[in-house]
A = this chain, B = another copy of it.
Amino acid sequence: MAEKTTQNLDEVTIRFAGDSGDGMQLTGMQFTNTTAILGNDLSTLPDYPAEIRAPAGTLFGVSGFQIHFGSTEINTPGDQCDVLVAMNAAALKVNLGSLIDGGTIIANTDGFNDKNLKLAGYATNPLVDESLQRFHLHSVDITKLTGHALQSMNLSSKLVDRSKNFFALGMMYWMYNRPLETTIEWIQKKFGNKPDIMEANLKVLKAGWNFSETTEIFSVRYEVGPAKLAPGQYRNITGNQALAWGLMAAAKKANLDLFLGSYPITPASDILHELSVYKHFGVKTFQAEDEIAGVTSALGASFGGALGVTTTSGPGVALKSEAIGLAVMVELPLVIVNVQRGGPSTGLPTKTEQSDLLQVLFGRNGEAPVPIIAAATPADCFQTAFDASRIALKYMTPIFCMSDGYLGNGSEPWLIPDYNALPDIAPKFRTEKEGFFPYLRDEQTLSRPWAIPGTPGLEHRIGGLEKQHITGNVNYEPENHEFMVRMRAEKVERIANDIPLAEVEGDVQGDVLVVGWGGTYGSIKSAVARHRLRGNSVSHLHLRWLNPMPRNVGEILYKFKHVLVPELNLGQLVKVLRMKYLVPAVGFNKIQGLPFKAVDIEKKIEEILKGTK
């Protein structure tokens, strides 16, 4: 048996790529869970096509999953990958660009037959011509080897083909020295009722591992030690799952039923799927006939005393905007989750983008202020959804809870929060008849009483026509209208009393302040960190609350020579900062359906620093 040496690494980025039918997402998630449990810090980026199962071997059918893990702090899924697992020629073609020079390629030779090469647009086979010399190429006939491993079972070739991804996974487990247990258990649970598929996958997984252990092709294997994470109990979690759990936690704390009215849409559907599992938590999920019924049913539920929630993506928000205006007028709690995707219109449904900020801020008729909170990382979606619910209930208002495709599908290790330590949410249903008026506001929060149907003596009517202050009766008086418009605006402004002041990462004054919001947190953080290591005067402000903004944002901005606002759009937060604070903030924009690379932001900061010198 061959001698194998072991190298230590701080961090590695691996990308699994193959046909949408090859199960790359599953393979990636398995590697992720195993890696998480080993105590590495990590960040992932699933990247799949809009088609369900595009014909095999086509370029547009390629599905990829990238994982960046290490013994150091990991903030992004990795700008480039060190290892590329390519199940066929198209996968290589599409992803080669993101492989570092000198990186490793593991190619399934069976996926490079003439048909594959033609579909991928290769004139000659890159595995045999000289074109890949820059890289460490390992050609392995994974399909054939999988077949061998399963000979004894004589399964259909279709079934055999289906499990070849486990062979690749086994190889990667060996190469990065990870145990098989987690995946073995998962396979046993998942395919418990399909014994031969279970057995096949187990066999192949181990075959992949053994193959790497015994053959010559891999001379080195790598060791990536656990990261120094804060002590505690951890789990790996995706943004969509964390968001769903955050809503459930809030409802529990508030002693309310959670009602979700939603219409499926990528990339938000998984929240609906997740919540529909928790009937034993009293969660009610309603797949409506469209987005409008999704949001209006949720508003109806809120009227009835539930925590009404609706989940969607940009096009759905557009459809809901009239109803959200109604929620503003009737002042009922309503959480609107927007998992943003590439626009405009249907755009790039499976890609990520941050281009809905101005829509959620302004996309309604009339003066219809709605608070906005945005999650910064996949795990952060939990706290964000929790806070959104808390504010919606306390201020009797609709609220936008912003996520995006990258956050929703991406995952990271999560220090499991102490549920009991989470702040209490204590909504009050009005019950005293004495002195009840539907629009008599709380002096501090300006929120109106929540008097739900079924409460004796509080019968009242609400609606979308302008309301009279206090009585809530329909009222067309000029002064009352102006008063109510300003009152609704003031109510949302007052939420600023309820949110923490913004905190700068780095010095509170200096040359460049990089301001971000949402899913760009990781890449900005890394870019800023690199500059700070080099002693540059660069700081990072990441806004969790977009409306209202923390009271100290202005002061902070004024303390820096330059304000740079990187966004995955054409510049939206930057517009808001300029209009609110009249600072000459400049945007740095990428709108390609992909997250920022830390290095791009790093370079941009560089430029600005040069300018200042």
A residues whose Cβ falls under 8 Å from a Cβ of B: 49-50, 60, 313-315, 317-319, 321-322, 325-326, 328-329, 342-349, 351, 353, 355-356, 358-359, 361-368, 463-466, 476, 478-479, 481-482, 485-486, 488-489, 569-570, 575-576, 578-579, 582, 584, 590-594
Contact = CB atoms under 8 A, between A and B. Distances in A.
Contacts of A367: 343-344, 355, 569-570, 591
Instruction: Give the residue among A363, A582, A584 with the most B Cβ atoms within 10 A.
Output: A363
A361 B359 contact: no
Contacts of A342: 366, 466, 481
| Copies of the chain in the assembly | 2
A364 B592 CA distance: 19
A361 B358 CA distance: 9
Given A365-B355, A481-B592, A347 B315 contact: no
B329 A322 contact: no
Contacts of A594: 478
11 contacts: A50-B476, A314-B365, A318-B321, A319-B319, A343-B367, A346-B464, A347-B464, A356-B365, A359-B363, A367-B570, A489-B570
A328 B345 contact: yes
Contact of A570 (B321, B343, B486): B486
A315 B365 contact: yes
B325 A365 contact: no
Contacts of A346: 326, 329, 463-465
Contact of A368 (B343, B361, B582): B343
A576 B60 CA distance: 40
B362 A363 contact: yes
Contacts of A319: 319, 321-322
Contact of A347 (B348, B465, B569): B465
Instruction: Give the residue among A366, A367, A579, A592 with the most B Cβ atoms within 10 A.
Output: A366
A75 to B, nearest CB: 21
B318 A365 contact: yes
Contacts of A358: 362
A489 to B, nearest CB: 6
**Which 7 pairs of residues, A with B, have the shortest CB-CB distance?**
A343-B366, A314-B365, A478-B592, A344-B366, A363-B363, A346-B464, A344-B368
Instruction: Give the residue among A351, A569, A592 with the most B Cβ atoms within 10 A.
Output: A592
Nearest to A577: B579
Instruction: Give the residue among A313, A317, A579 with the most B Cβ atoms within 10 A.
Output: A579
A363 B364 contact: yes
B345 A368 contact: yes
Nearest to A321: B318
Given A322-B345, A325-B345, 13 more contacts: A313-B365, A319-B322, A321-B363, A326-B345, A328-B345, A343-B366, A346-B463, A348-B481, A482-B592, A486-B570, A575-B579, A578-B579, A578-B582
Contacts of A359: 362-365
B364 A361 contact: no
Instruction: Give the residue among A322, A344, A349 with the most B Cβ atoms within 10 A.
Output: A344
A394 to B, nearest CB: 21
A449 to B, nearest CB: 20
A464 B368 contact: no
Instruction: Give the residue among A351, A590, A591 with the most B Cβ atoms within 10 A.
Output: A591
Contacts of A570: 367, 485-486, 489
A356 B314 CA distance: 20
A62 to B, nearest CB: 10
A581 to B, nearest CB: 9
A345 B326 CA distance: 5
Contacts of A314: 365-366
Contacts of A479: 592
A207 to B, nearest CB: 35
A558 to B, nearest CB: 14
Nearest to A590: B482
Contacts of A478: 592-594
A353 B366 CA distance: 8
